[in-house]
Structure formats: structure tokens, C-alpha cells
Amino acid sequence: MTKHKLKELCSKEQRGPVTAIEQVDGFLLTAIGQKVYVWKFKGNNDIIGLAFIDAQLYIHTAVTLKNFVLTADITKSLSLLRYQEEHKTLALVSKDLRELEIYTAEYIVDGKQLSFLVSDSDRNLILYHYSPESVESVGGQRLLRRADFHLGSRVNTMFRTPIGPAKSSGEKKTKHITWFATLDGGLGYFVPMPEKTYRRLLMLQNKLVTGIPHFAGLNPKAFRLPSVEQKSLTNPSKNVLDGNLLWRYASLSYKERSEFARQIGTTVNQILQDLMDVDKGTILF
């Protein structure tokens, strides 16, 4: 038993199911079917509507960051909204124009760069980016697909935790780890990394694909290509490193590690330091 109790302050009937609930700029945000509403709580135990927008078909996930709202639709993919308090408006910033059955969504924070991570029904993780200066985005109306990765499990929830800068990299910008949990009981994470580190580990990953034996003779590079039931006219974006494969480098013999490091033009200590920076930044539990 506890002395703390929950008390209902307000109750208001709606014309449809409330499928998502969040806060944006201190106001209540709800998704009711295909509509997204922003509410304000009044002192007389009532809430009043401030803004709303007609979304796609059926919004089941809403994630907020400052005044931005990321919504996921059951078939119409991803949309990015923005709430402007001074004008009391909720406006569409950009969206993915392709159809996609999304399970959940979350932000990827890398300093001043903001991207959007989603999981779909085909067991893929897909990274989108808002880039209005790009010609492909049609003036920012379209979210660009920047990376994809076949996980092999359906992800139904994500959350973020901040990490400090790696001491060896000398970076000072804020980064967040985006954790995810799968329906079959798995736990994993996405973490942004510096361009130089990414290039170095990507070369190592390509060498490990052909340079070491794999379980049952399977090809990890082919497995990580996005899997889709309906063929599309887009090529895989990739741009995601396979942490499980890279960590196998640490279990190799000294001679094998030295040979792989020589082939990509770096040192064993540098590769191990890159892997340890990722590991240290994600030790939270």
C-alpha cells in the first residue's frame, strides 16, 4: 500500500478511440483515429482544444521532441508535424510518400542533426531524415530514406537515453542512444558515430564478411539487406554497421587482428578503441 493516490481531474468523451497520447510544449497531444489534437487543461477541471490536423488513415504512435511531433500510421508511413504556440496551429512539415506499415518510431539525436527511426512489419529498421535543401525532398515536403537494416525481429517499442561524448574522439556535441525492444524478447540500440569512425569500421566490416567463417556458412551482409514483401523501385540505403559482426573482431587471434588492421590502413589499438567508445557510451544498466 502507498499513501500516494491518483485522482481524476478531467474526463471528456471522444468520437473515436484514443490511439496515442503525448505532451508537446506543455500541452496534451492525442491521436484519435486519423486526427491529431492539442489540448489545454483549464483550472475548472476541463480541457479545451487548441489545434488539430487531419493526418493519414489511423495514427497509432506519436513521439514528441520540443515542438515537433512524429506520427506513425498503420499503412501510410511517417509524418512530421510542428506545433506553433503563438499561432495555435499544428502543421505538417514533411512526410514519407510511400506506403509502409510501421510498428513504432523514435528520434535519432546527433548534435544538431535530427533523424527518425522506424520499424516496419517486414522486420526492418529504417532511418529517415528531413532535408529541405535536397532536391529529392521536393522543398522539404518529403522525408528522405537515409539508412535501412534488416533486424530479423519485429520491434514494438523504442526509447532514448543521452550519452556523453567519447573522450578519445574529442567531440562535445550531445548524442542520444535509441534503444529498441523486440517482440521475441531482444534488446538492442542505435547510436550515431563520427564520420571517420564509421568509415573505418565499415571497411573492417567488409573485410570480416569475407575474411572469417560465419555460422552455418550464412552471409551476414546479405541477411542485413532490407526485406520487403512488395518489391519497390528503390535501392537499399544501407549506411548501418552490424555491431554483432564487428565485435567478433575482438575475439580473433592477434595475428588475424593485425592482418585485418593492415588491410584497411589502421592499427589494432585504433579499432579496439572505436569499439570501446561505443561500449562505454552504452553502459547504462
Q: Answer whether residue 285 shows pLDDT above 50.
A: yes
Name the E strands within the chain: 18-24, 27-32, 35-42, 46-54, 59-65, 68-73, 78-84, 89-95, 102-110, 113-120, 124-129, 144-150, 155-163, 175-182, 187-190
CA 175/CA 153 separation, integer angstroms: 25
* Rounded-to-integer distance, Cα 207 and Cα 249, Å: 10
Alpha carbon distances (Å) from 132 to 92, 118, 142: 14, 20, 8
The reported pLDDT for the residue numbered 172 is 60
Q: For the residues of 3-34, what is the DSSP string, one character each?
A: S-----------SS-EEEEEEETTEEEEEETT
Residue of higher predicted confidence among 182 and 236: 182
Q: Please state the φ and ψ torsions of residue 252, each to the nearest 5 degrees.
A: -75, 165
Tell me the longest C-alpha to C-alpha distance in the chain.
74
Per-residue pLDDT of 250-278, as tens digits, reads 999 999 999 999 999 999 999 999 999 98
C-alpha distances (whole Å) from 264 to each of 10, 148, 213, 247 are 62, 24, 19, 17
The pTM for the full model equals 0.88
Residue 15 has pLDDT above 70, yes or no: yes
pLDDT in tens, 66-117: 999 999 999 999 999 999 989 899 999 999 998 999 999 999 999 889 999 9
CB-based contacts of 273: which residues, under 8 Å, 6+ apart? 168
Query: Alpha-carbon torsion 53, 56, 57, 59, what sign?
Result: negative
CA 64/CA 280 separation, integer angstroms: 28
Residue with cell 531482444: 186
pLDDT tens readout for residues 31-60? 998 899 999 988 777 889 999 999 888 999
What does the pLDDT look like over 181-232, one tens digit per residue?
Answer: 999 999 999 999 899 999 999 999 999 999 999 888 788 888 898 887 777 6
